[in-house]
């Protein structure tokens, strides 16, 4: 009996009785360092003295939180869709009104507050299909192969759910690049699938080597059933942009080894380096001819969260599926229907991304100006980040060819490695936590993404405004020099 006379009993759900796969899930991008950063922000706001005036969060690709401005046309149309009374307001351009009117006509009761079809609004899926055809030089796209999703993450997890089956040595294995975006490792842990690591080559700008894919696959076949290969292009956290030749090699490899291809292409507009160009897996697949385009199973993913849009909070995205078995496709449609539909405002935003203002329309010039300014600023910041980090002894940074991150390699002195190990911490976690406490800069340790044994990195977004990015880079430089002296 407890003090108040009630019978005390153990809770039904405890750490020992909960789903064990959930406990294996880790997501470094919002891990302990970020939690500490939030605490530090609160402490600063309460007047506590720190050796810095503000916390700079360079841990996550959250563009608007870092000061990137939204595209005016997108927000105008979304405002009109949210509050249709504004359609009578003469301050809104006519092309924004006509776009809003078309979206609202596709919504039940002419309201964005109604559910849509589970696969997404028909007219939006048609617009996505036309966008893909334009992007891929006329390769046909069937709107029925398009599934609108709650950000790209939702589509990726849904596809992994379909792929995972079997027990023991027959359990599904999924090949993911190391370093990787931790959504993949987290989803595989939750699904109880086997993670198969293949390593990108840091010495050649994080390139993908087919020999390394073969090594990883051959080893994995001894303990699981490899069924899928995930590619992130442009890369996160590594920022590389794959060549067309590399993509062809990957497709041939997937065909030969009977692997389902998953192409995460959410950074497709974020390409900065000279000589680099985004090639979609779908386009390359179809240009390789029917031997491949009729057989290789492919799911590709895009989102409203990155590129020049940066609209993470709307959770808009799509996936396109190619060569999926008809019966499996019916099961996919059933699976997405359980969650009713993706957020309708996110679907509306996705529609605007794939169908932006056209030449001759009132909003076109301003749209192009804003889009170009955002992408040009990111290209400049990619270059600046690489240049400044490479001036620091003990830090080496590959060119940021695309996406929104640099993933520099850092040298950590033996004494610091020992202190970290004694505390039960990864050395780069120890390094990043110390940097946060001393400078207010929040980065993610490379161990959260995976890295070759004996190497250490951190991931840093290139999103802060130029002046703040310069401050951040100088602080990183000063901290690394101090840290190295302290532990040498």
- For residue 402, the domain's CATH number is 3.90.1150.10
Which is nearest to 412 in space by CA: 373, 344, 458, 374? 458
Report whether 297 contacts 119 (CB < 8 A).
Answer: no
- Both 159 and 268 in one domain: the answer is yes
- Both 261 and 292 in one domain: the answer is yes
| pLDDT for the residue 139 | 93
Domain boundary among 354, 385, 410: 354
Cis status, amide bond into 179, omega within 30 of 0: yes
User: How far is residue 306 CA from its own chain's centroid?
Assistant: 8
Strands, E, within 74-134: which ranges?
none
- Both 125 and 159 in one domain: the answer is yes
Contact partners, residue 457, CB within 8 Å, separation at least 6: 179, 407, 408, 409, 410, 428, 445, 446, 449, 451
Query: Cα dist. 179→12, 46, 228, 231, 454 in Å?
Result: 38, 38, 17, 11, 14
Q: Give the alpha-carbon dihedral of 90, 95, 101, 107, to 10 degrees.
A: -130
Which is nearest to 180 in space by CA: 259, 99, 240, 132? 240
User: Which residues form the domain of 450?
Assistant: 20-67+368-486
- At residue 266's C-alpha, the angle toward residues 262 and 271, to 5°, is 115
Distance separating alpha carbons of residues 151 and 261, to the nearest angstrom: 19
Residue 363 domain-assigned?
no
Residue 3 domain-assigned?
no
Strands, E, within 7-157: which ranges?
56-57, 146-149
Place of tokens 């500490």: 36
Residue 362 domain-assigned?
no
User: How far is residue 412 CA from its own chain's centroid?
Assistant: 28
Distance separating alpha carbons of residues 412 and 428, to the nearest angstrom: 8
Report whether 60 contacts 461 (CB < 8 A).
Answer: yes
Indicate the SS3 state at residue 158. Answer: helix
Query: Cα dist. 379→127, 270, 352, 401, 418 in Å?
Result: 29, 8, 24, 9, 38
- Both 32 and 174 in one domain: the answer is no
- Both 372 and 348 in one domain: the answer is no
Residue 6 domain-assigned?
no
**Domain count across the chain:** 2
Residue 50 domain-assigned?
yes
Residue 453 domain-assigned?
yes
- Both 137 and 37 in one domain: the answer is no
| pLDDT for the residue 188 | 85
Distance separating alpha carbons of residues 61 and 76, to the nearest angstrom: 24
| Segments in the chain below pLDDT 70 | 1-8, 17-18, 23, 25-30
Report whether 303 contacts 151 (CB < 8 A).
Answer: yes
Residue 284 domain-assigned?
yes
- Both 208 and 119 in one domain: the answer is yes
What does the radius of gyration of the chain's CA atoms come to, in whole angstroms?
24
The predicted model scores a pTM of: 0.84
Total number of residues shown for the chain: 488
Distance separating alpha carbons of residues 271 and 479, to the nearest angstrom: 30
Contact partners, residue 170, CB within 8 Å, separation at least 6: 224, 225
Indicate the SS3 state at residue 106. Answer: coil
- For residue 121, the domain's CATH number is 3.40.640.10
Domain boundary among 354, 378, 405: 354
Query: Cα dist. 430→253, 374, 440 in Å?
Result: 39, 34, 15
| pLDDT for the residue 100 | 93
- Both 283 and 136 in one domain: the answer is yes
| pLDDT for the residue 236 | 84
Residue 63 domain-assigned?
yes
Contact partners, residue 269, CB within 8 Å, separation at least 6: 278, 306, 307, 308, 375
- Both 272 and 303 in one domain: the answer is yes
- Both 435 and 293 in one domain: the answer is no
- At residue 177's C-alpha, the angle toward residues 176 and 181, to 5°, is 85
Report whether 465 contacts 66 (CB < 8 A).
Answer: yes
Domain boundary among 354, 389, 419: 354
- Both 296 and 408 in one domain: the answer is no
- Both 341 and 424 in one domain: the answer is no
């Amino acid at each position: 009996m407890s003090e108040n006379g009630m019978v005390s009993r153990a809770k039904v759900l405890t750490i020992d009785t909960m789903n064990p796969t959930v406990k294996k899930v880790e997501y470094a991008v919002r891990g302990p360092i970020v939690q500490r950063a939030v605490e530090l922000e609160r402490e600063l706001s309460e007047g506590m003295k720190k050796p810095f005036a503000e916390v700079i969060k360079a841990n996550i690709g959250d563009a608007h939180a870092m000061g990137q401005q939204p595209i005016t046309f997108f927000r105008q149309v979304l405002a009109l869709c949210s509050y249709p009374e504004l359609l009578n307001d003469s301050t809104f351009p006519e092309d924004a009104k006509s776009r809003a009117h078309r979206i609202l006509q596709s919504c039940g009761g002419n309201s964005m507050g109604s559910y849509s079809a589970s696969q997404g609004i028909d007219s939006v899926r048609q617009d996505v299909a036309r966008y893909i055809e334009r992007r891929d030089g006329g390769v046909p796209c069937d709107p029925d192969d398009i599934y609108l999703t709650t950000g790209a993450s939702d589509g990726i997890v849904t596809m992994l759910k379909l792929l995972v089956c079997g027990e023991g040595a027959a359990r599904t294995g999924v090949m993911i690049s190391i370093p990787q975006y931790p959504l993949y490792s987290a989803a595989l842990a939750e699904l109880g699938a086997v993670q198969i690591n293949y390593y990108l080559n840091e010495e050649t700008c994080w390139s993908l080597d087919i020999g390394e894919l073969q090594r990883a696959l051959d080893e994995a076949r001894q303990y699981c059933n490899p069924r899928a290969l995930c590619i992130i292009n442009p890369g996160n956290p590594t920022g590389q942009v794959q060549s067309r030749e590399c993509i062809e090699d990957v497709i041939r490899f997937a065909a030969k080894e009977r692997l389902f291809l998953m192409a995460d292409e959410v950074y497709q507009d974020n390409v900065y380096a000279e000589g680099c160009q985004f090639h979609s897996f779908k386009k390359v697949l179809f240009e390789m001819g029917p031997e491949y385009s009729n057989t290789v199973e492919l799911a590709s993913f895009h989102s409203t969260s990155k590129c020049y849009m940066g609209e993470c909070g709307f959770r808009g995205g799509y996936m396109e599926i190619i060569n999926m078995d008809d019966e499996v496709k019916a099961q996919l449609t059933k699976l997405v229907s359980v969650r009713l539909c993706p957020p309708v405002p996110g679907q509306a935003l996705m529609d605007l991304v794939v169908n932006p203002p056209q030449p001759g329309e009132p909003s076109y010039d301003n749209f192009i100006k804003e889009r170009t300014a955002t992408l040009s600023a990111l290209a400049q910041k990619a270059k600046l980040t690489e240049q400044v980090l490479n001036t620091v002894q003990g830090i080496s940074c590959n060119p940021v060819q695309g996406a929104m991150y640099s993933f520099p390699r850092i040298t950590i002195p033996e004494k610091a490695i020992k202190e970290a190990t004694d505390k039960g911490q990864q050395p780069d976690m120890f390094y990043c936590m110390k940097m946060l406490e001393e400078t207010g800069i929040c980065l993610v340790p490379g161990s959260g993404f995976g890295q070759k044994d004996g190497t250490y990195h951190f991931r840093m977004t290139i999103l802060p405004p130029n002046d703040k990015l310069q401050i951040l880079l100088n602080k990183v430089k000063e901290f690394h020099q101090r840290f190295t002296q302290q532990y040498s």
